[in-house]
Amino acid sequence: MKRRKIKKRCEFSQKKIGYVDYKDIDLLKRFVTEKGRMLPAKTTGLCSAYQKKLTTAIKRARHMALLPFIN
């Protein structure tokens, strides 16, 4: 018997978030592991457009020293 895979919906497009802010650290920490690595789109369930916006926001937050590169 095959199991059906439940497709995750894009959280940002459902909430109609237009801009992922790099200063919103609480939001960004949900998409980063304990070691400081970014979670892939397969795990987060985001669409490709918002995954790209999320990665640039995380990189900007790291550059501004709001998020650490390595924990």
Q: pLDDT at residue 6 above 80?
A: no
Q: pLDDT at residue 55 above 90?
A: yes
Beta-bridge partners for 38? 32
Q: Which two tokens stand for residue 59?
A: 């990189």
Predicted pLDDT at 59: 95
- Average pLDDT of span 43-67: 94
List the domain boundaries for the chain. 11-63
Determine the Cα–Cα distance for residues 13 and 49; give it in Å rounded to an integer: 10
CATH number assigned to the domain covering 11-63: 4.10.640.10
Q: Residue type at 71?
A: N
